[in-house]
């Protein structure tokens, strides 16, 4: 099936390129009607499905338009602000973070008339190589490759990419050790260390962890940011307190066993806001309160995080800075200069789930719970997420 999809992708692009060549050579002038779909099938020796996909792509690009019942016509007006260059963003799968980055990047590149095209590979290395080859054939100025997936063998994979592509490559979101390709990355280790250290500063010493698969590069780095921060403080991390993936089935039973135990964790560090929301639901189902019984922090500052019960303390990555650096790297490559590598962190977004309004850090190492009164109480009762954020920041 993958081979069939790749073949179809190459065929429709060949048809689209052929039609554009005919337009630019004067074979078909602005306002002219193109040959029928059947005639185009015969001209390019492809199926009608392939021809229709090529025409749809050209319509999206502003090169042709359809007049119902009459056929396809060459657009009489040139596409407004037609891009003068293109970059391809190679992604194994789209998620909320990449969707934000891609949207910001498209807008950031628009003034320079550089288009950003998305290539989804589904983690298939063959499709990844093909996306790079196709981008080179289309004279793209650079490939932006999102680093994700299994950590094992990743250096060899990207080293081969560097040697096997004539296209300039910039790694996104993560660096790869041992590979000299430029990168624009998020400092996931520092992010996890920051939210972990915040809980330690509040007096917590029994911290559990809920994250992603540690064999994935993103899971490994986030776990290291958490665990290394505990070890620097001389604290132990029982492996029973480390959870990965969704809290269903056996993991959920183990989670309940840990948090209902006599020496249960007093805080939980999660590698995403979704994980944190799931954990809060599990804790609530056990009759435990957040943050009175267990403090919880997340990562990402998703839109819903301010509306959880309680509102979630989380970490916001500097995506504006990240996209600015990606734009600068693309511009440098387009102008024939070497792109610079950079790394971006972010900041904590304070809300109630970490318990800042309920906890008093004493001089010794054991945290003491205290009722929320006075100014602290008013911060908990703030009526909007913006007010809650503003008031909670004063509790740091």
pTM: 0.70
Which of the four pLDDT bands, split at 50, 70 and 90, describes residue 4?
very low
Tokens of 128: 């990844």
Domain layout of the chain by residue ranges = 2-74, 85-181, 188-317+347-393
φ/ψ of residue 13, rounded to 5:
-70, -35
Asked if the 188-317+347-393 domain carries CATH number 3.40.50.2300, the reply is yes
> Is 316:347 a contact under the CB 8 Å cutoff?
yes
Q: Do domains 85-181 and 188-317+347-393 have the same CATH topology?
A: yes
pLDDT higher than 90, residue 205: yes
Work out the average pLDDT over 246-252: 90
Question: CB 50: neighbour CB atoms within 10 A?
Answer: 23
99-146 per-position pLDDT tens digit: 999 999 999 998 888 989 999 988 888 888 888 888 888 888 999 999
Question: CB 189: neighbour CB atoms within 10 A?
Answer: 19
Q: Which CATH number fits domain 2-74: 2.40.30.170, 1.20.1200.10, 1.10.10.10, 1.10.600.10?
A: 1.10.10.10
pLDDT at residue 199 in the model: 96
* More reliable by pLDDT, 361 or 201: 201
φ/ψ of residue 316, rounded to 5:
-105, 120
Work out the average pLDDT over 34-44: 93
Cα 368 from chain centroid?
Answer: 37
Alpha helices (H) along 125-240:
125-137, 154-164, 188-201, 217-232
Mean pLDDT computed over every residue of the chain:
84
At the top level of CATH, the class of 85-181 is alpha beta
Please tell me whether the peptide bond between 291 and the residue prior to it is cis, using omega within 30 degrees of 0.
yes
Round to whole Å and give the CA distance between 394 and 391. Answer: 6
pLDDT higher than 50, residue 364: no
> Is 276:353 a contact under the CB 8 Å cutoff?
yes
Residue with tokens 């209902």: 260
């Amino acid at each position: 099936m993958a081979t069939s999809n790749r073949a179809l992708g190459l065929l429709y692009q060949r048809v689209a390129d052929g039609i554009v060549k005919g337009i630019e050579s004067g074979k078909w002038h602005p306002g002219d009607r193109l040959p029928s779909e059947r005639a185009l099938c015969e001209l390019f020796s492809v199926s009608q499905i392939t021809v229709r996909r090529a025409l749809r792509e050209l319509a999206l690009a502003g090169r042709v338009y359809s007049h119902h019942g009459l056929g396809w016509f060459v657009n009489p007006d040139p596409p407004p602000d037609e891009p003068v260059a293109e970059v391809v963003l190679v992604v194994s799968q789209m998620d909320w973070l990449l969707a934000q980055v891609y949207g910001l990047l498209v807008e950031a590149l628009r003034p320079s008339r550089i288009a950003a095209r998305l290539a989804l590979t589904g983690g298939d290395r063959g499709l990844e190589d093909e996306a790079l080859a196709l981008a080179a054939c289309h004279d793209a100025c650079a490939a932006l490759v999102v680093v994700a997936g299994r950590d094992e063998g990743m250096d060899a994979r990207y080293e081969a990419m560097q040697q096997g592509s004539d296209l300039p490559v910039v790694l996104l979101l993560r660096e790869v050790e041992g590979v000299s390709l430029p990168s624009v990355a998020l400092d996931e280790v520092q992010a996890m260390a920051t939210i972990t250290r915040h809980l330690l500063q509040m007096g917590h010493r029994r911290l559990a962890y809920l994250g992603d698969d540690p064999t994935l590069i993103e899971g490994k780095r986030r776990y290291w940011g958490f665990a290394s921060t505990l070890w620097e403080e001389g604290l132990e991390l029982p492996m029973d307190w480390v959870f990965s993936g969704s809290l269903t089935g056996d993991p959920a039973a183990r989670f309940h066993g840990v948090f209902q135990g006599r020496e249960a964790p007093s805080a939980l560090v999660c590698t995403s806001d979704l994980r944190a929301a799931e954990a809060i639901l599990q804790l609530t189902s056990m009759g435990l309160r957040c943050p009175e019984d267990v403090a919880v922090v997340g990562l990402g500052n998703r839109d819903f995080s301010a509306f959880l019960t309680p509102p979630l303390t989380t970490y916001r990555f500097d995506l504006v800075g990240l996209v600015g650096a990606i734009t600068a790297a693309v511009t440098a490559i387009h102008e024939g200069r070497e792109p610079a590598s950079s790394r971006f962190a972010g900041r904590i977004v304070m809300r109630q789930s970490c318990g800042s309004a309920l906890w008093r850090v004493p001089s010794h190492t054991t945290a003491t719970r205290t009722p929320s009164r006075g100014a602290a109480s008013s911060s908990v009762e703030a009526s909007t997420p913006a007010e809650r954020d503003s008031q909670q920041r004063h509790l740091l």
